[in-house]
Structure 1
Amino acid sequence: MENYVQVSTTVDREEDAEKIARVLVEQRLAGCVQISPITSIYRWQGNVETAREWRLCAKTREDLCEAADRVIASLSSYSVPEVIVTPIIAGSESYLAWLDGELAGK
């Protein structure tokens, strides 16, 4: 099995989430990106903050993570964009075959 992963990030504007998702899919760095509204509570510059954000969850392969990270960094308005990579340890064969067909070749 290939090394499939989910790359997640957050942004503060829905428009930014849609733009990042579209670029990731158009460049074949993700087969699918899901966008969900969330509320985040975090410490930033010594203060506890609460913010409305949009989480992106991109399905991809491990070998495409660096390129996906560069896209996220270039399009995010955050000075420290969150990029978290989580391995997909199992999945339906048909979904993973579809995903692989939508991603950039090796």
Structure 2
Amino acid sequence: MTTTDSAEKAQQLAQGAVEARLAACAQISAPVTSVYHWRQAIETAEEWQVLFKTTPACYDALEAYLTAAHDYDTPEIIAMPVVRGNAAYVGWVRAETVAR
């Protein structure tokens, strides 16, 4: 998952990851309001959240892509484990991604 400051940037990150087959799907949710510490101040920003559906084997390549493509100094890039999932959906995610 990552966040960015515009719908257009979220779309670009999602499109690039899916085209490169680093994610089978990317969902954009927005806007979300983020409140955070940054450079000794509390900031509030409207952001777009992008959730990428990928596999553990593709995570490193997806993180590298997001780090290179993102314009934030320190982009949020986090992974959350899937504890359980519909077998057919999980199989689809595996089939649609390519580990690099």
**Structure 1 stretches of 5 or more lacking a match?**
1-7
Contact preservation (8 Å) 1:16, 1:75: no
Counterpart in the other structure of 2:93: 99
Letter in 2 for 1:68: L
CA contact (8 A) 2:4 2:10 kept: yes
Give the TM-score normalised by structure 2: 0.94
Quick check: 2:23–2:54 contact (8 Å CA) kept in 1? Answer: yes
Displacement of 1:80 in angstroms is 0.5
One-letter amino acid of the structure 1 residue matched with residue 75 of structure 2 = P
Distance 1:33 1:102 in 2: 12
Q: How far 1:54 moved relative to its partner?
A: 0.5
Shift of 1:105: 5.2
Count the aligned residue pairs: 99
- Other-structure match for 2:57: 63
Q: What CA deviation, in whole Å up to 9, does each residue of 1:12-35 have, x standing for no partner?
A: 111111011011101111001101
Look up the equivalent residue of 1:14 and give its one-letter code: A
Q: In structure 2, what is the Cα distance between the partners aligned to 1:104 and 1:28?
A: 6
The answer for unaligned runs of 5 or more in structure 2 is: none
State the identity %.
36
Q: TM-score, normalised by structure 1?
A: 0.89
- 1:27 corresponds to 2:30: no
Task: Give the aligned CA root-mean-square deviation in angstroms.
Answer: 1.2
Query: Are residues 1:54 and 2:45 paired?
Result: no
- Structure 1 runs of 4+ aligned residues shifted over 4 Å read none
